[in-house]
Structure 1
Amino acid sequence: MQTTYITVTIIAAVAAGAAALVDFVAADWVRGNMRNYGIPDWALIPLGVIKLAGAIGLLAGLVFPPIGVAAAICLFLYFIGAVATVLRARCYADLPYPMPFLALALAAVCVLPAA
């Protein structure tokens, strides 16, 4: 279980960090998608900060598990919101983009060590 926990946590943290980096770069395709979802351009940086905080929290959780628990749950809720936002905008073809992040956040929650 310990190896699974560490592996899933690191993969989820890297994925969340990569998603944050995409927000920080704010490529045209990202801004276009966000506009389609009804999200203003200025929101990209705060959303990226949330993802980066989640990634850092997951990694910190390897040392201090309560932080990892909070980060995993918050990332899961964040990506539930991302999926809901895509659904609300009726951009069903874009669902494959937030779903892997949601699955990784859920996996991180599922493999949390018993406190």
Structure 2
Amino acid sequence: MFTAYVVVAVLLSFVLVFSAYAKLVKEEEVTSTMVRLGVPLSWFPVLAGLEIAGALGLLAGIVYRPLGIAAGIGVTLYFLGAVLSHLRVKDVAGSLVPAVLTLVAAVPVILGVGTL
């Protein structure tokens, strides 16, 4: 289970860092989607910071599991918030990716608890 935690934590960390980068450089597609969801541009750095913190926490969880579990919970809630943001504006199709990422983010929590 430890190896599975490491693999998922590393892959999810890459996704989080890539997503944070897209927000920080205000990549056109990401910006238009988030503005359509009602997210102010001033929130982009905060959201990117949360994603980077989640990625670092997941990676730190390889060495100190409780931190990885806490980060996994935070990342799961972050993506759950993204799902709810999409559903709030009736963008069901757009909620698919964050819904999958919500489930993927829950995996390090489950694996982390299993390897304590």
Contact 2:82–2:95 (8 Å) recurs in 1: no
Cα deviation digits, residues 27-63 of structure 1 (max 9, x gap): 1221211111111111111101000100000001111
Tell me by how many angstroms 1:97 deviates: 2.8
- When the two structures are aligned, how many residues end up with a matched partner? 115
Q: For 1:28-67, what aligned pairs fall within 5 Å after superposition?
A: 28-67=28-67
Q: Which runs of 4+ in 1 moved over 6 A?
A: none
The runs of 5 or more residues in structure 1 that have no matched partner are none
Q: For 1:1-115, what aligned pairs fall within 5 Å after superposition?
A: 1-112=1-112, 113-115=114-116
Q: Which amino acid aligns with 2:19?
A: A
Tell me by how many angstroms 1:114 deviates: 3.9
The runs of 5 or more residues in structure 2 that have no matched partner are none
Give the distance between the partners of 2:19 and 2:101, measured in 1 at CA: 9
% identical aligned pairs: 32
Give the distance between the partners of 2:41 and 2:4, measured in 1 at CA: 37
Contact 1:24–1:44 (8 Å) recurs in 2: yes
